[in-house]
């Protein structure tokens, strides 16, 4: 993926906090809100021993970060990726807290990860790793405490293993402890494409505002995993011209538009993109002359080094944290609309909430109901964030963060702030002074 040469020695978590503090200047919150959000509630680092297929033993490093649960149980995915580290997981957990607040669902923020490349493991080894991870964190998760879900390089099958292992440990069925499960194991219809579909609904609203004709709109998608593939499928079916896609090996570009169903089928069967059109790098994809750019890969893809080259009028962040702060400033200065991750990819956690509700009630919804509820949620919250952006004349990320911080602040300071306690302290001091006199 692209370079990150504008990044300094401050790790991803510290840079994430800096952006929250910057956005807080546009939010009506008590200062104690930021104090409470400056550190996660709990950080768990675990060792996961796994017996490999050849009989050898490997120990993998794993994390679970529980950032804030003032609005509901911690919520956040589990990624299996070789670049996983604590700073990344803490940042993702903070973003999850903001994301759940942006779409106004009753979850807090959490995240988990294991430092591993699952492509180097057999299916049986991945299963043993998934079950070992759950055994390591079982004491801190639960249906009313912390609800994990899939993320990068994990999927519905991974979640089925994890939910099964947790039920075995607890000696009872607890389907609501994990979301993103297969439908046959208590998962929700519509969860498979929810992240991309939420971004698609947001893009629909932008298209409506700008009077777009889909056939005239060119789209480039960086990252052709679950979210990227579903985004390409949905946009292609709606008439948008998807002209470029890429994965970790590089991408392809066809100005007339790609045959998206064929691309998805080839990627599924061959685990690689087909050799069609012009071969391009991920860096070249970001700079294509398109109308919409969809970063759907990893963090820090749009940086100070390449933001000026972006020609898209709209950037829709299906990945978490794909745009650095400096790139944000450059893009905003150019008039580019960046729909931030905490809004653009919130469809996944929204349908995870639907799944959690269905698991708890024992009543399951048809697909159209899931889609209708998701569309209503994304449209409503997009309108709120867009109105805030317009009224305050600020980037959409700052507007989304401001909305989230105000919702979090209402919960975090409900028990009182310094302003509530200091007058009583002063009164006690006056009483004490009078007694001495």
Asked if residue 274 belongs to a domain, the reply is: yes
Residues 59 and 181 in one domain: yes
**Domain CATH number, residue 293:** 3.40.50.720
Based on its alpha-carbon atoms, the radius of gyration of the chain, rounded to whole angstroms, reads: 22
Phi, psi dihedral angles at 259 (to 5 degrees): -80, 90
Cα distances from 428 to residues 186, 422, 432, 433, 434, in angstroms, run: 56, 10, 6, 9, 10
Q: Which residues neighbour 233 within 8 Å (Cβ) at sequence distance 6 or greater?
A: 193, 196, 260, 261, 264
Residues 249 and 268 in one domain: yes
- Which one is catalytic: 111, 311, 334, 436? 111
| Mode of pairing for the β-strands spanning 250-253 and 278-280 | antiparallel
Asked if residue 410 belongs to a domain, the reply is: no
Residues 56 and 171 in one domain: yes
| Mode of pairing for the β-strands spanning 146-150 and 241-247 | unpaired
Query: Would you say how long the chain is, in residues?
Result: 437
CA–centroid distance for 58 within its chain:
29
Asked if residue 231 belongs to a domain, the reply is: yes
In the three-class reduction of DSSP (H, G, I as helix; E, B as strand; rest coil), residue 172 is classed as coil
Question: For the chain, what is the domain count?
Answer: 2
Domain stop point among 317, 344, 371: 344
- 181 among known catalytic residues: no
Model pLDDT, residue 4? 43
Residues 153 and 201 in one domain: no
**CB distance 350 to 201 below 8 Å:** no
Asked if residue 364 belongs to a domain, the reply is: no
In the three-class reduction of DSSP (H, G, I as helix; E, B as strand; rest coil), residue 180 is classed as coil
Asked if residue 78 belongs to a domain, the reply is: yes
Residues 136 and 262 in one domain: no
Model pLDDT, residue 420? 86
Smallest Cα–Cα separation from 345: which of 382, 319, 366? 319
Asked if residue 58 belongs to a domain, the reply is: yes
Smallest Cα–Cα separation from 98: which of 409, 376, 370? 409
Residues 210 and 293 in one domain: yes
Residues 82 and 219 in one domain: no
**Domain CATH number, residue 92:** 3.40.50.10860
Phi, psi dihedral angles at 295 (to 5 degrees): -75, 120
Residues 159 and 219 in one domain: no
Edge-to-edge strand ranges of the sheet holding 109-115: 42-51, 57-68, 109-115, 74-81, 146-150
Q: Which residues neighbour 130 within 8 Å (Cβ) at sequence distance 6 or greater?
A: 154, 158, 161, 162, 165
Residues 210 and 337 in one domain: yes
**Domain span including residue 136:** 40-185
Residues 80 and 200 in one domain: no
Question: Whose structure tokens read 């050849």?
Answer: 54
Residues 118 and 240 in one domain: no
Sequential pLDDT tens for the chain (437 residues): 444 445 544 688 999 999 999 999 999 999 999 999 999 999 999 999 999 999 999 999 999 999 999 999 999 999 999 999 999 999 999 999 999 999 999 999 999 999 999 999 999 999 999 999 999 999 999 999 999 999 989 999 999 999 999 999 999 999 999 999 999 999 999 999 999 999 999 999 999 999 999 999 999 999 999 999 999 999 999 999 999 999 989 999 999 999 999 999 999 999 899 999 999 999 999 999 999 999 999 889 999 999 999 999 999 999 999 999 999 999 999 999 999 999 999 999 999 999 999 999 999 999 999 999 999 999 999 999 999 999 999 999 999 999 999 999 999 999 998 888 876 665 666 666 666 65
Residues 339 and 201 in one domain: yes
**CB distance 321 to 95 below 8 Å:** yes
Model pLDDT, residue 435? 62
Model pLDDT, residue 366? 98
Asked if residue 318 belongs to a domain, the reply is: yes
Per-residue b/e over 338-368, b at no fewer than 16 CB within 10 Å? bbbbbbbbbbbbbbbbbbbbbbeeeebbeee
Asked if residue 314 belongs to a domain, the reply is: yes
Cβ neighbour number for residue 119 with a 10 Å cutoff: 11
Domain stop point among 140, 165, 185: 185
In angstroms, how far is the first alpha carbon of the chain from the final one? 73
Domain stop point among 144, 165, 185: 185
């Amino acid at each position: 993926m692209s370079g990150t040469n504008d990044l300094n020695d401050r790790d991803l978590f510290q840079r994430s906090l800096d952006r929250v503090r910057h956005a807080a200047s546009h939010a009506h919150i008590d200062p104690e809100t930021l104090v409470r959000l400056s550190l996660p509630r709990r950080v768990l680092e675990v060792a996961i021993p796994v017996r490999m297929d050849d009989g050898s033993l490997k120990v993998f490093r794993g994390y679970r970060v529980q950032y804030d649960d003032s609005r509901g149980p911690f919520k956040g995915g589990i990624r299996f990726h070789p670049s996983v580290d604590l700073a990344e997981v803490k940042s993702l957990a903070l973003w999850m807290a903001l994301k759940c607040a942006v779409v106004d669902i009753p979850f807090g923020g959490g995240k988990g990860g294991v430092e591993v490349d699952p492509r180097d493991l057999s299916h049986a080894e991945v299963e043993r790793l998934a079950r070992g991870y759950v055994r390591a964190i079982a004491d801190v998760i639960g249906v009313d405490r912390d609800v994990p879900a899939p993320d990068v390089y994990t999927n519905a099958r991974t979640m089925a293993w994890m939910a099964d292992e947790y039920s075995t440990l607890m000696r009872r069925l607890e389907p609501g402890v994990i979301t993103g499960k297969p439908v046959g194991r208590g998962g929700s219809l519509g969860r498979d494409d929810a992240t991309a579909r939420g971004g698609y609904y947001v893009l629909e609203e932008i298209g409506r505002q700008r009077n777009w004709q889909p056939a005239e709109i060119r789209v480039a998608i960086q990252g052709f995993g679950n979210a990227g593939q579903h985004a390409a499928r949905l946009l292609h079916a709606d008439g948008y011209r998807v002209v470029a896609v890429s994965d970790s090996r590089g991408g392809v570009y066809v100005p007339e538009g790609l045959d998206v169903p064929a691309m998805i089928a080839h990627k599924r069967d061959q685990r690689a993109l087909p050799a069609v059109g012009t071969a391009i790098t991920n860096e070249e994809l970001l700079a294509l002359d398109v109308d919409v750019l969809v970063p759907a890969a990893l963090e820090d893809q749009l940086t100070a080094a390449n933001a000026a080259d972006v020609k898209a009028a709209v950037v829709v962040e299906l990945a978490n944290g794909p745009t650095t702060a400096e790139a944000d400033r450059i893009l905003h200065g150019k008039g580019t609309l960046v729909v931030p991750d905490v809004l653009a990819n919130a469809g996944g956690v929204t349908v995870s909430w639907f799944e959690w509700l269905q698991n708890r009630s024992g009543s399951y919804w048809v697909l159209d109901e899931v889609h209708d509820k998701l569309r209503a949620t994304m449209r409503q919250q997009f309108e709120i964030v867009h109105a805030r952006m317009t009224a305050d004349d600020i980037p959409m990320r700052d507007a989304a963060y401001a909305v989230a911080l105000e919702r979090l602040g209402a919960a975090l300071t409900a028990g009182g702030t310094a302003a509530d306690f200091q007058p009583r302290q002063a009164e006690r001091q006056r009483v004490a002074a009078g007694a001495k006199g």
